[in-house]
Amino acid sequence: MFELNYKTLANYNKVTNEYMNDYIKNITEEQWNKIFNGYFKSIHELCSHIYICDFNWLKRFSKLREFKTFNKSIFENNLKFSEIIFQNTNEYLQKRNELDILITEFINELNQNDLESILEFKDSKGTNIKKKMEPLIIHMFNHQTHHRGMISLYLEFLGIENDFGGSLYKKDL
């Protein structure tokens, strides 16, 4: 059961981001930064938000036990949830791909005991939290799906038809 659920989710996330990024790599800087009437004002802001949240979830997950995935220098960085990062789409595309690889590596290291373990961490407001790992991992993937939907909508507002949500049918996972 574990293999089917979490490894499939990690791969689905990576593949769907690749499809989404096929659209993002072709937008102009003006489209990347265009202001919309949503909570996140641009595709740039949304991509920064998703990346920062994924990165911070991985850093939280690293506190559960020793994982080889987290022995990389990238995890020495700290990213604040309010930051807007990436100077341009090329920088985003490179770093997004690298992070998706790390997410997959992390998921490949997980075992059933990890999923049943309690993770202690601070949320973005500094509140101490104790939660079982399994729903936290599902939350991380669900959060990405939610915001990819927002990016899809913003692309449609730009007149760019897209269907990266159908990536499941386009490529074997």
Which pLDDT belongs to residue 144? 93
Q: Is 5 exposed, middle or buried (0-12, 13-18, 19+ CB in 10 A)?
A: middle
Tokens of 163: 């269907």
Element housing 88 (H / E) = none
Q: What is the pLDDT of residues 98-150, one digit of tens each?
A: 999 999 999 999 999 999 999 999 988 889 999 999 999 999 999 999 999 99
- Indicate the SS3 state at residue 90: helix
Quick one: pLDDT band at residue 32, thresholds 50, 70, 90? Answer: very high
pLDDT surpasses 90 at 4? no
Contact 118, 81 (CB under 8 A): no
pTM of the model: 0.91
pLDDT of residue 80: 85
For residue 78, what pLDDT is reported?
A: 87
What is the total count of domains within the chain?
1
Domain that holds residue 99: 2-170
List Cα–Cα distances, 80 to 8, 49, 90, 126, in angstroms: 29, 10, 21, 12
Residues contacting 122, CB < 8 A, separation 6+: 128, 129
pLDDT (mean) for 27-54: 96
Summary mean pLDDT of the chain: 90
Task: Choose between 64 and 82: higher pLDDT.
Answer: 64
The pLDDT score that the predictor gives to residue 82 is 79
pLDDT at 167 over 80: no
Percentage of the chain beyond pLDDT 70 is 92
Q: Would strands 128-132 and 118-122 be described as parallel, antiparallel, or unpaired?
A: antiparallel
CATH number at residue 24: 1.20.120.450
Q: Six-digit token pair at 166?
A: 């159908």
Per-residue pLDDT at 165: 62
The band of 168, judged by pLDDT with boundaries at 50, 70 and 90, is low
